[in-house]
Amino acid sequence: MLQQVINLISLWAIPLLLLVILTVGLIKKVPLYEAFTDGAKDGFKVAVNIIPYLVAIIVCISMLRASGFIESTGQILSPILKCFHIPVDTVSVMIVRSLSGSAALGVFSDIAKNFGADDYATKLAAVMVGSSETTFYVLAVYFGAVGISKFRYALITGLLADFIGIAAAVAVCNFMFL
Partner 1 sequence: MNYIFYFLIVLSIIFGVINGRLQEVVNGILSGAELSVKVAFSLIGIMAFWLGMMKIAEKSGVVAFISKIIKPAARKLFNEIPENSPAIGDVTMAFTANAFGLSNAATPIGIKAMEELQRHNVDKKSASDAMCMFLAMSTAGFQLIPATVIAVLVSIGYPNPSEIIAPTLVVTSVAFLSAIFIAKIFQKFWQPQKAENKTDNKIKAEVC
Separation in Å, CA 90 to CA 82, 87, 96, 106, 110: 12, 6, 10, 12, 10
Residue 11 binding partner 1, by CB under 8 A: no
Stretch that binds partner 1, among 10-18, 78-86, 87-95 (CB under 8 A): 10-18
Q: Which of residues 106-165 bind partner 1 (CB under 8 A)?
A: 108-109, 112-113, 116-117, 122-123, 126-135, 138-139, 141-143, 145-158, 160-162, 164-165
The reply on whether position 15 binds partner 1 by CB under 8 A is: no
Which position among 19, 46, 78, 85 is part of the footprint of partner 1 (CB under 8 A)?
46
Residue 119: CB minimum distance to partner 1, A: 11
